[in-house]
Amino acid sequence: MTNKQKKIVVVSNRVPYKIVRIKESIKYKKSVGGLVTALDPILSKKGGLWAGWNGLVGKQKYAEQTVEMEGGYSVKFLGLSRQDVKDFYHGFSNRTIWPLFHGFIFQSFFDLNYWDSYKNINQYFADKILEEVKGDEVLWIQDYHLMLVPSLLRKALPGSKILFFLHIPFPSFEIFRVLPWNKMILEGLMGADVLGFQTKGDARNFLYNCSRALGMPVDYDTGRLDRGDRPVHVKNFPISIDFKKFDSLAKAISTNNRVRLFKREHKNQKFIISVERLDYTKGIKERLLSIKRFFEKYPEYKKRVIFVQVSVPSRTKITEYRHFKREIDQLVGNINGQFADELWTPINYIYKTIPQEILISYYKASDVCLVTPLRDGMNLIAKEYVSCNPDGDGMLVLSRFAGSADEMQKNSIMVNPYDFEGVADGIKAALEMSRNEKRKNMAALRKIVQENDVFNWANQFLNYSIER
Ligand code: F6P
């Protein structure tokens, strides 16, 4: 069998289906995320399996199973106990790796119980996959929850094609070496034949870490690591979105009706939108302080501009996220209290998950999109916003610390999210940019996202891997 004909086995922390229990029966509800959109057609065509956590807390028997789905591939639901969720998911994945890889060293917890659980759950995932595979499949592991899985699979299947993609940034040597288990993570990842990262910088960081921490010979030009027994290839593959889907939904009559209504209700007002999970890496606090600065510095914009901040609840069981929510609630209250009058409130704060068609209308109705993470692997909101801007009248203000800055910086207003003065000026520049210039920028950005959509991402990664 050639590599191209091989079945695909995807392994990620979460599977693309949610289990919904209705009385005695069980239903599977498909998720709408970008990764699912990209991999679903590939898995349907080639056949295979997608394995991961069922998303439930506690080991419910009914929820640990392999199910043949309609698309022509199977999903293997794995269960985690309450303690596993605490130590593996909330703990090592989201209180150690997540903050550290985003550069938040002092918010990272180095707890031996977390690490033990991470090792155990990675082993559990590997064992469960080994129950299902013959070894002639392409095994594609996703993200920071499962960085030991490549080498665990390699031990059992030395000749298999094993790939890994990291969706978050990979830290510099100075940051990563703080982690007591850094070498084990590097060894774990090197079980793969191909390691994909979001940006060139992430790929370079990984190579440099291998060279410094493990003394491995690396070739920065080709991205090749020499382990002695076999090569490991390291390369950047910036992830993307389904441009066509967002573009056509943005052009739908229902979207246009919603946008028209929205604009009619807010005549003579401009909208600036930000959307993300409520996460401290996204720069929400710094953004709010920049908005405050904007109204202080440019009071002529009072009553003329409304900031729509959509924060999607996320990881709400983790202490840092709870504290962060309280801090943001308070800050929004303070700023609104300071500037609002009886007819206008500067920040329209929404803390919930918004249906996609409504979100698309918000994107389309907004004059500016403010994407200002302190650090982000890619940031797909920037790409969604431009895909929903077929008329080209919007403008993107983008953090230089988002992975998407590599592709989008030329036609966006670039800012440092820690520089409130600079962000306030960036907002003003975006609002005041001529229609011609905005259209030129938006056309260029839309072309970039259209030509590099999520289907290209998946195909490029697989084709590159299969050739090696
Ligand atoms: O960006 C990394 C990521 O793990 C995504 O893959 C995921 O959609 C998002 O964060 C939300 O994470 P969680 O699974 O913890 O809700």
Residue-level pLDDT at 467:
83
Per-residue confidence (pLDDT) for residue 423, from 0 to 100: 98
The pLDDT assigned to 49 comes to 95
Say if residue 194's pLDDT is above 90: yes
Q: Nearest residue CA, atom 5 of ligand 1?
A: 167
Q: Which of residues 24 and 205 earns the better pLDDT score?
A: 205
Please name the residues in contact with 297: beta carbons below 8 A apart, sequence gap of 6 or more. Answer: 421, 424
Q: What is the DSSP string of 6-70?
A: S-EEEEEEE-SEEEEEETTEEEEEE---HHHHHHHHHHHHH-EEEEEEEEEES--GGGSEEEE-T
Closest C-alpha to ligand 1, atom 8? 33
Q: Which of 57-71, 253-267, 358-372, 377-391 has the lowest mean pLDDT?
A: 57-71
Residue 3 has pLDDT above 80, yes or no: no
Q: Whose CA is nearest to atom 11 of ligand 1?
A: 314
CA of 277 to the centre of ligand 1 (A): 9
Q: Which residue ranges does the chain devote to CATH 3.40.50.2000?
A: 3-239+455-466, 243-451
CATH of the structural domain 3-239+455-466, one choice from 3.20.20.70, 3.40.50.2000, 3.40.50.10470, 3.10.400.10: 3.40.50.2000
Q: The tokens 């600079």 sit on which residue? A: 422
What value does the mean pLDDT take over residues 311-317?
Answer: 95
Known catalytic membership, residue 102: no
At the fourth CATH level, the homologous superfamily of domain 243-451 is Glycogen Phosphorylase B; (3.40.50.2000)
- The answer to whether residue 1 scores a pLDDT higher than 70 is no
Pocket test for ligand 1, best of 143, 198, 378 (most atoms within 8 A of CB): 143
For residue 402, the 8-state DSSP code is B
Ligand 1 atom with the smallest distance to the CA of 94 is: 15
Surface-to-core class of residue 343, CB atoms within 10 Å of its CB (0-12 exposed, 13-18 middle, 19+ buried): exposed
Least confident among 33-37, 209-213, 273-277:
33-37
pLDDT of residue 348: 97
Dump strand ranges (E) for 81-160.
138-142
Does the annotation count 419 as an active-site position? no
Per-residue pLDDT, averaged over 135-159, amounts to 96
Residue 2 has pLDDT above 70, yes or no: no
Q: Does residue 95's CB lie within 6 angstroms of at least one atom of ligand 1?
A: no
The whole-number average pLDDT for the span 122-141 is 95
317-344 pLDDT, tens digit each: 999 999 999 999 999 999 999 999 999 9
Q: Point out the ligand 1 atom lying closest to the alpha carbon of residue 314.
A: 16
Say if residue 251's pLDDT is above 90: yes
Give 232 or 228, the one with higher predicted confidence: 232
Q: List the catalytic residue out of 167, 367, 393, 406.
A: 167
Q: Encode pLDDT of 266-310 as tens digits.
A: 989 999 999 999 999 999 999 999 999 999 999 999 999 999 999
- Average pLDDT of the chain is 95
How big is the chain, counted in residues?
Answer: 468
Least confident of 35-49, 347-361, 433-447: 35-49
